Amino acid sequence: MVHLRTACIALLAWVSVATPIWAQSKAEAVLQSFVRDFATTGVSVTQGSKSVAQDAVEWRDVVVSMPRVKGNLKLGFIRSVEQADGSFVIEYPRMVTGTLAPVAGLAPLNLVATGEVLHLVSSAERGAVHKISTDSVSGVLNGADPAPYTTVKIKNFALDHTADRGVPLQLNRIRDILFSGVFELDMKGGFAVLDRLVDLRKVSTSQADIARTMVRGFTTQGADGTDHLQLRVDVRENGAILINGNPF
């Protein structure tokens, strides 16, 4: 009887210790899976330190490196928290900073993005469904020579990444990613940057002329001059897309 009681106590103690460890391993597996998805696009993610709680794992001082655009994003943390139903929430800071230097000869662009993002993951298993949404996120790019000032706003955004490929193709579906929302662009000095690229011989004069024509076709002129462009893209859940209020 004494041995049975000892065995039960030992089993309960093991369960009390093993359960949070298992939760932690699943929470971290979600983050690692997310990082592997990034890696398939050439993007790498590194972390500074790690904090572990009973049902959550937090990576601190995270850097997202993007070699193709010679840039990086810096996040104070990325946190994975397991929910009661076995799903997970990935949490991000309200502010993300970064730099982009895609063209030699132009000064780097500085990025500041602010807003709250809700990222739900159905499970820690491969093929999990990701649902990302936000009421409003704003990003500001500036710092190039000549200095543009570009603001991007995303409102009522929702993204659903699922393995269901049986859904009919829609304009707002890229492979197995379905998204909707409002995207607003306000850019000052964009044509001046294009002129600078011609001077640097990164693009030809004819290519620049084609780019200007295409950009003007999809944007409206801002209130303070010809080098101030604005764009609003409204992607509906049914697949309809409006550009500056006009059907695409």
Ordered per-residue pLDDT tens for the chain, 248 residues: 444 444 433 333 333 333 344 455 788 888 888 788 777 778 899 999 999 888 899 999 999 999 988 999 999 999 999 999 989 999 999 999 999 888 888 888 889 999 999 999 888 887 778 888 988 899 888 875 666 678 889 888 888 776 444 444 444 455 556 778 999 998 888 888 888 889 989 899 999 999 989 988 888 887 776 788 889 999 887 778 899 988 88
Under 8 Å between Cβ of 107 and 145: yes
The whole-angstrom separation of Cα 164 and Cα 122 is 14
Under 8 Å between Cβ of 193 and 146: yes
| DSSP string for residues in 115-152 | E--EEEES-SSTT--EEEEEEEEEEEEE--SS--EEEE
Question: In one letter, which amino acid is 3?
Answer: H
Instruction: Tally Cβ neighbours within 10 Å of residue 86.
Output: 12
Element (H, E) at 194: helix 190-199
Task: Using the Cα atoms of residue 13, residue 16, residue 17 and residue 19 in order, give the sign of their dihedral.
Answer: positive
Secondary structure letter of residue 97 according to DSSP: E
Cα Rg, the chain, nearest whole Å: 23
pTM: 0.76
Under 8 Å between Cβ of 157 and 137: yes
Element (H, E) at 24: helix 2-39
Under 8 Å between Cβ of 111 and 140: yes
